[in-house]
Amino acid sequence: MKNIFKRLLAVTLLIAVLLPAANIARAESGRVAGTGNLKVINAKDGLFISWDKVEGAVSYVVYKYDYANNLFTHEATPEVNYYQDYKTENGAYYIYRIAYVLEDGVRYPYETGVRFRCLKMPRVILNCTPNSIMVSWNKIPTATQYRVYRKAQGESSWLCVRVVRDMNTNYVMDYNVKNGGKYTYTVKAFCGNVPGSYNISGVSTDYWRAPTVTSKHSPSGVVLSWDKYSNKHTYIIDHRSAVSPSWKTVGEVYDKGTYTCSFDNIDFGVINYFRIRLKNTNLVSYSTSVYGIDPNKPMVALTYDDGPLTSVTNSIVSTLKKNGGRATFFVVGNRVGSYKSSLKNAFDAGCEIGNHTYGHYILTNYKQSTIKSQINQTNNAVKKITGKAPTLVRAPGGSINSTVKSSVEYPLIQWNVDTLDWKYRNANSVVSSVKNNVKDGSIILMHDLYKSTADATKTIVPWLKSQGYQMVTVTELMQIRGHDLNAGQVYYSGYKK
């Protein structure tokens, strides 16, 4: 008898190994009037069958019922009194029969079990996303409800974090997790009105909230910034672009929230993507992107005010796209609602959207509250359409005084090449104005209200490109040339310092 207990203990231990962190299913145990105490339970990857040891048995024979042919077929001949059947399908029914073999080589019938349904206990899979843990599991055919439980390291009780009643859903996103936390999840499947008829196992992982990365240009490269964790970590910086499409590690920093990617690792003329990984975790941030701009080549910021206007704005954007250029559109807030798609089109083409007040107010005529309201209304209107509020302001008429400077909480962008396109409404005069005055670092003033300006753009943009100019946004120009953009400060150009 001692031997039998030892064997049972071994089986129990084996089950414990097979089902970590899970309550063992309250199995639909298959037991008939036989003497073998035949038991079948759902294990992680199939069915686990066990029976009482028989004194003197040299081996056992496991038969499995073949429903197609209505007979029991030989399944295995284990020397131990248990067997794990991996060849089972979730939701299917199985019947096992056991015989034992004595030294005489004869198979003695032992016990036939009852019909048992295989309901696999799949692994719960955890994935860290930048701001949550995604808990997923294999669907259970008979389940009518899943309940997801969480236990943080050091806590003694399980907390139900979600009840899933849509049986097409087999995952939840748990946002209520802390940086650096270690969590275990258990998913219980409920069948009909029988709560906890069985549950499926949870696993543990370290969870780190991914940093949010931002990027900007600087005279020495692309500066990446992210929220550093209070715990010391190594951060790995990866880069890719259309030129080098797979992620490649470009740097690594320890316990820092910033990294400058030198121009050696930037691909010019295309969008460059960066992401941050936390070393020794599976955590990856969302990527951030910047245009690759060569600091050693000339660059210019084309700016268009007073729009949008569908025919003109779209024509300018299309010319820019054809030539790999981008511009800055200082829009009038009360117009953007009427020209949503033009605004979105410009934004999606990588152009910058700036603020030109809500009603084209000459700000020097107004008091602080009106100025602020003019700026805020426009920022809100733009953000509604592009998702990003402008960070630059151009004062209508370029009219700026001390009240304007102290009221506007954004940099004030003027220009140093004035094409007077609004005055002459003549494409040729705009083209010659640009050709005669443009320099490396120029900010050129035009207006996307006139067909003549759209036509002029069709000549200016390819010409600038042929002269080696990169057509960049105002923010890019200022950042890459090292002009810090400060609220209420006035800027005329992005010349080299």
How far is residue 282 CA from its own chain's centroid? 13
Q: Which is nearer to Zn ion, 85 or 305 (CB)?
A: 305
Category of 317 on φ-ψ map: left (φ > 0), alpha (ψ -120 to 50) or beta: alpha
Do the strands 96-101 and 71-76 form a parallel or antiparallel pair, or are they unpaired? Answer: unpaired
CB 460 within 8 A of CB 454: no
Q: Which is nearer to Zn ion, 151 or 356 (CB)?
A: 356
Q: Which is nearer to Zn ion, 359 or 462 (CB)?
A: 359
Q: Which is nearer to Zn ion, 52 or 306 (CB)?
A: 306
Distance between CA 364 and CA 458 in Å, rounded?
Answer: 35
Stretch touching Zn ion by CB under 5 A, among 156-164, 243-251, 333-341, 395-403: 395-403
CB of 305: closest distance to Zn ion in angstroms? Answer: 4
DSSP letter for 368, please: H
Q: Which is nearer to Zn ion, 122 or 354 (CB)?
A: 354
CB of 160: closest distance to Zn ion in angstroms? Answer: 58
Stretch touching Zn ion by CB under 5 A, among 110-118, 141-149, 298-306, 486-494: 298-306
Q: Which is nearer to Zn ion, 306 or 455 (CB)?
A: 306
Q: Which is nearer to Zn ion, 273 or 366 (CB)?
A: 366
CB of 315: closest distance to Zn ion in angstroms? Answer: 19
CB of 228: closest distance to Zn ion in angstroms? Answer: 42
447, 448, 455, 483: which one is catalytic?
447
Q: Identify the residue whose tokens are 């203990």.
A: 9
Give the H or E element holding residue 151. strand 145-152
φ, ψ (nearest 5 deg) of residue 311: -60, -40
- Which of 347, 412, 341, 336 lies closest to 377 in space, CA to CA? 336
By CB under 5 A, is residue 421 in contact with Zn ion? no
Residues in 20-39 at the binding interface with Zn ion, rule: CB under 5 A: none
Crossing angle, helix 368-386 and helix 340-348, to 10 degrees? Answer: 70
238, 305, 421, 448: which one is catalytic?
305
Stretch touching Zn ion by CB under 5 A, among 73-81, 162-170, 362-370, 388-396: 388-396
Residues in 78-107 at the binding interface with Zn ion, rule: CB under 5 A: none
Residues in the chain: 497
CB 352 within 8 A of CB 392: yes
User: Is 418 known to be catalytic?
Assistant: no
By CB under 5 A, is residue 305 in contact with Zn ion? yes
User: Is 305 known to be catalytic?
Assistant: yes
Q: Which is nearer to Zn ion, 111 or 305 (CB)?
A: 305
Q: How many Cα atoms sit within 13 Å of 65 on the Cβ side? A: 14
Binding-site string for Zn ion from residue 252 to residue 291, where x marks contact by CB under 5 A and - marks none: ----------------------------------------
Stretch touching Zn ion by CB under 5 A, among 62-70, 92-100, 396-404, 454-462: 396-404
- Which of 163, 85, 76, 72 lies closest to 120 in space, CA to CA? 85
CB of 333: closest distance to Zn ion in angstroms? Answer: 12
- Residue-wise over 215-236: b if at least 16 C-beta within 10 A, else e? bebeeebbbbbbeebeeebebb
440 three-class SS? coil
Count residues binding Zn ion (CB under 5 A): 3
Cβ neighbours of residue 274 under 8 Å, at least 6 residues apart? 213, 215, 222, 224, 237, 238, 239, 261, 287, 288, 289, 290
DSSP letter for 264, please: G
CB of 212: closest distance to Zn ion in angstroms? Answer: 35
Stretch touching Zn ion by CB under 5 A, among 68-76, 369-377, 394-402, 459-467: 394-402
Among positions 307, 350, 390, 396, the unique one binding Zn ion when judged by CB under 5 A: 396
By CB under 5 A, is residue 354 in contact with Zn ion? no
Among positions 306, 352, 421, 476, the unique one binding Zn ion when judged by CB under 5 A: 306
User: Which residues here bind Zn ion, judged by CB under 5 A?
Assistant: 305-306, 396
Catalytic residue set? 305, 447
